Amino acid sequence: MRRTAYVRTCSTVLAASLIVPLVSDAGPATAQVVDNVCNASGELGFNPTLTLTPHSTAMTVSDGALLSCTNPVYPDATINAFGTGPSLCLVIDINGTGSFTWDNGKVSAFTFTVSTDPLTGQLGLSASIISGPFKGDTVEDEPVIVSMAGTCATGGVSALTVDFTGLEFLGA
């Protein structure tokens, strides 16, 4: 008798686990299309410098480049960007706008957030292409800090040199 009840219970649980996903309200899955993958590098400049005192800072991207991209029509680009936001040493949450100027002369404009603040729930770079090639795509990645000009405790950090490997342009 106990064995029969156990088998019925297991059968009911198994049947429910197979049916629930079929009737759930999760909606259809949507896959993102990878439109381009690039390596990137650049210098993030800060004014005022990043220090141990919380303050607002401006960030500019200089000597920025997208290199060795997989899309043959858009293989390389220069990066220009400017943003502002709060900082406390290397904890930043910068929002701004920028552009990729591709080797063929076309320009992709974007909005972005660069955050190293774990309280934001988003770490690294997040960008949305708002016009030009790849309009509607999102770009997200975590940079690797290659070098740092200055220290937070002695005069502040004026710049970070960063690299991205495998920066993906994701479309719907």
Per-residue pLDDT reduced to its tens digit, 6-45: 333 333 333 333 333 333 344 445 678 999 999 999 999 9
Domain presence at residue 3: no
pLDDT digits (tens, 9 = 90+) for 73-92: 999 999 999 999 999 999 99
Nearest to 65 by CA among 134, 138, 167: 167
Nearest to 16 by CA among 6, 8, 5, 27: 8
Identify the three-state secondary structure at position 55.
Answer: strand
> Considering the entire predicted model, what is its pTM?
0.80
Domain presence at residue 108: yes
Token digits of residue 100 = 């990729």
Burial class (CB in 10 A: 0-12, 13-18, 19+), 171: middle
Q: What are phi and psi of 144, to 5 degrees?
A: -105, 125
Q: Which domain holds residue 103?
A: 33-171
Identify the three-state secondary structure at position 134.
Answer: coil
Contacts for 13-16 with beta carbons within 8 Å, 24 or more apart? none
Q: What pLDDT, on a 0 to 100 scale, did the predictor assign at position 118? A: 87
Q: What pLDDT, on a 0 to 100 scale, did the predictor assign at position 156? A: 97
Which residues pair with residue 144 across a beta bridge? 163
Domain presence at residue 121: yes
Q: Is residue 157's pLDDT more than 60?
A: yes
CB 160 within 8 A of CB 43: yes
Domain presence at residue 26: no
Domain presence at residue 131: yes
Q: Count structural domains, the chain.
A: 1
Q: What pLDDT, on a 0 to 100 scale, did the predictor assign at position 104? A: 97
pLDDT digits (tens, 9 = 90+) for 89-116: 999 999 999 999 999 999 999 999 999 9
Domain presence at residue 98: yes
Domain presence at residue 10: no
**pLDDT over 90, % of the chain:** 75
